[in-house]
């Protein structure tokens, strides 16, 4: 039963990303050309509601269903890994026109070439895993 | 019905994503799609050859289920909630894309020039893109969901740096490399 909640949230996520076109290569290209407010509005709306919601949950010391205090795990302090990793991901995001969520949403939409992207994303993740200790973090 | 079957406005998409993130946090989880790549590597046995993949991946099963949901969501969107949805992008963007050789701009949801035919060039584009996404997200410790939505909503500085990186990379790809690739 609890498993169904995650599948349900995933379905809503998939539909939202597809229907509001955050899974569209064209929309990502348009965003990186600053030619439409669409994607910026999408992200800004998510951030506004997300930030207010999180602040409220924290202010009223809300607990999650396990009874633990609500918090987002703080990311470890660094600049270099976020910058280099971010740039590499950004290059891939613009080229494929999809970030990890939409890659799977589009697979479900019947865009089979996304299977190639997924296989190579797994390979890229594996490469990071074996090179991790040699990279600056 | 048009409200459902037509493209949804950005504020509906953005609001739904925020609600999903908040729901996951209330459920004691977090919103982050790219960590599934690491989990999937582990389920495929990568832990045998590399310590980074030696972790209790079964604790991440909920996120794999979320991913299954996302795939189903894509299927439902195309088959039951859309009538040939076309990305209605800015006409300047369309003109620019026509010049780059993308005839499908303004006529399709995603470009058939890349996703329609499995030419050698397209296979290279998709594989290199995948490598960059897989490597980059793990190096940066997250993608658009983990950093741009969750991290920024929580006002975390590392996420701001990561998102800055996303944009530097994206802008470089579109403005410097696209004219060489397409």
State whether residue B96 is helix, strand or coil: helix
Spell out the residues 6+ positions from residue B156 whose beta carbon is closer than 8 angstroms to its own.
A72, A74, A75
* Contacts B12 to A, Cβ<8 Å: 16, 19-20
At A62 the pLDDT is: 86
From A10, A107, A109, residue closest to B66, measured CB to CB:
A10
| 3-state SS class at B177 | helix
Q: What is the mean pLDDT of residues A16-37?
A: 98
pLDDT, average across residues A17-30:
98
Interface touch B8/A26, C-beta < 8 Å? no
Mean pLDDT of all residues in B116-130: 97
- Compute the average pLDDT of residues B84-96: 96
Domain boundary among B85, B109, B139: B85
Is the CB of residue B173 less than 8 Å from the CB of residue A95?
A: yes
Domain count for chain B, please give it.
2
The reply to whether A128 touches chain B by the CB within 8 Å rule is yes
Average pLDDT score over residue span A87-106: 98
Residue A68 DSSP code: P
Do residues B148 and B31 lie in contact, with contact meaning Cβ atoms separated by under 8 Å?
no
- What band does B81 get if pLDDT is binned at 50, 70 and 90? very high
Q: How confident is the model at residue B82 (pLDDT cuts 50, 70, 90)?
A: very high
Average pLDDT score over residue span B30-51: 97
Beta bridge partners of A69: A63
pLDDT band with cut points at 50, 70 and 90 for residue B34: very high
CB–CB contact B122 A42 (8 Å): no
Percent of chain B with pLDDT over 70: 100
| Same domain membership, residue B76 and residue B2 | yes
What is the structure's pLDDT at B144?
96
Task: Tell me A108's DSSP state.
Answer: H
B47 near A CB under 8 A: no
Position of tokens 């740039």?
A87
Residues B12 and B60 in one domain: yes
**B173 inside 8 A of chain A by CB:** yes
Encoded tokens for A19: 């229907």
Q: Is A63 helix (H, G, I), strand (E, B) or coil?
A: strand
Q: Decide if A91 contacts B132 (C-beta within 8 A).
A: yes
A1 interfaces chain B, CB cutoff of 8 Å: no
- Average pLDDT value for residue range B108-132: 97
DSSP string, B116-175: T---HHHHHHHHHHHHHHHHHHHHHT--IIIIIIIIHHTT-HHHHHHHHHHHHHHHHIII
What is the model's pLDDT at position B125? 98
Handedness of CA B85, A121, A75, A137 (dihedral sign): negative
Task: Answer whether B134 sits within 8 Å of A121, measured CB to CB.
Answer: yes
Give A73's pLDDT tier (boundaries 50, 70, 90).
confident
Domain end, chosen from B33, B66, B85, is at B85
Going by pLDDT thresholds of 50, 70 and 90, the confidence category of residue A71 is confident
- CA B146 to each of CA A1, B55, B94: distance values in angstroms, whole numbers, following the listed order: 26, 20, 31
So what's the pLDDT on residue A74? 87
Give domain status of residue B149, yes or no: yes
Asked if the Cβ–Cβ distance from B130 to A116 is below 8 Å, we say yes
Interface residue A129 vs chain B (CB under 8 A): yes
* Domains in chain A: boundaries: 2-36+74-134
Would residue B94 count as lying in a domain?
A: no
Q: Is residue B62 part of a domain?
A: yes
Q: Are residues B2 and B74 in the same domain?
A: yes
Same domain, B72 and B128: no
B92 lies within 8 A of chain A by CB = yes
| CB proximity B57 to A under 8 Å | no
pLDDT at site B1:
72
- Cross-chain residue pair B90–A35, CB shorter than 8 Å: yes
* Assembly ipTM: 0.97
Domain range for B177: 118-182
Q: Identify the band that residue A88 occupies on the pLDDT scale cut at 50, 70 and 90.
A: very high
In this structure, the answer to whether residues B81 and B127 fall within a common structural domain is no
Stretch A33-59: mean pLDDT, rounded? Answer: 97
Best of B4, B13, B146 to disrupt the A interface (most A CBs within 10 Å) is B13
The contacts of residue A85 (CB under 8 Å, 6+ apart) are B135, B136, B137, B138, B139, B140, B141, B162, B165
**CA-based nearest residue to B111, from B124, B97, B121, B90:** B97
Nearest to B133 among A29, A93, A132 (CB): A93
Give the tokens for residue B23: 């729901």
Q: Report the SS3 class of residue A69.
A: strand
Model-level pTM?
Answer: 0.96
Q: For A90, which of B105, B114, B166 is closest by C-beta distance?
A: B166
Per the DSSP assignment, residues forming a β-bridge with A63 are A69
- Interface with chain A: mutation pick from B19, B69, B149, highest number of A CBs within 10 Å: B69
Q: What is the mean pLDDT of residues B119-143?
A: 98
Within-domain flag for B92? no
Q: Is it the case that residue A1 has pLDDT exceeding 80?
A: no
Instruction: Give the list of residues 6+ apart from residue B176 with CB closer than 8 angstroms, or none.
Output: none
The answer as to whether B51 is a domain residue is yes
Nearest CA in chain B to A12: B73
pLDDT value at residue B2: 82
User: A31 with A38: CB under 8 angstroms?
Assistant: yes
Alpha-carbon distance of B112 to B117, in angstroms, equals: 7
What is the per-residue pLDDT across B134-169, written as a single tens digit (0 to 9) for each?
999 999 999 999 999 999 999 999 999 999 999 999
């Amino acid at each position: 039963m609890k498993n169904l909640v995650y599948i349900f949230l995933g379905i809503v996520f998939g539909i939202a990303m597809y229907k509001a076109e955050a899974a569209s290569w064209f929309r990502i290209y348009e965003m990186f050309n600053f030619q439409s407010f669409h994607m910026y509005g999408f992200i800004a709306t998510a951030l506004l509601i997300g930030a207010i919601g999180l602040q409220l949950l924290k202010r009223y010391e809300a607990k999650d269903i396990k009874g633990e205090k609500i918090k987002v795990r703080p990311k470890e302090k660094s600049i270099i890994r976020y910058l280099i990793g971010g740039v590499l991901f950004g290059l891939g995001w613009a080229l494929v026109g999809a970030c990890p969520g939409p890659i799977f949403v589009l697979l479900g939409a019947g865009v089979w070439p996304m299977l190639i992207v997924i296989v190579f994303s797994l390979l890229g993740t594996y490469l990071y895993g074996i090179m991790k200790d040699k990279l600056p973090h | 019905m048009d409200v459902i079957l037509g493209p949804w406005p950005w504020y509906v998409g953005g609001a739904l994503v925020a609600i999903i993130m908040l729901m996951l946090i209330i459920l004691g989880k977090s919103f982050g799609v790219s960590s599934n790549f690491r989990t999937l590597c582990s389920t495929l046995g990568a832990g045998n050859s590399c310590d980074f993949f030696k972790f209790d991946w079964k604790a991440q099963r909920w996120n794999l289920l979320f991913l299954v949901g996302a795939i189903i969501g894509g299927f439902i969107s195309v088959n039951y909630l859309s009538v040939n949805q076309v990305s209605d992008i800015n006409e300047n963007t369309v003109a620019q894309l026509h010049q780059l050789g993308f005839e499908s701009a303004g006529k399709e949801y995603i470009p058939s020039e890349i996703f329609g035919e499995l030419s050698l060039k397209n296979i290279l584009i998709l594989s290199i893109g995948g490598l960059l996404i897989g490597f980059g997200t793990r190096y940066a410790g997250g993608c658009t969901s983990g950093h741009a939505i969750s991290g920024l909503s929580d006002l975390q500085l590392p996420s701001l740096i990561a998102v800055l990186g996303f944009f530097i990379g994206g802008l470089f790809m579109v403005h410097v490399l696209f004219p060489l690739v397409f």
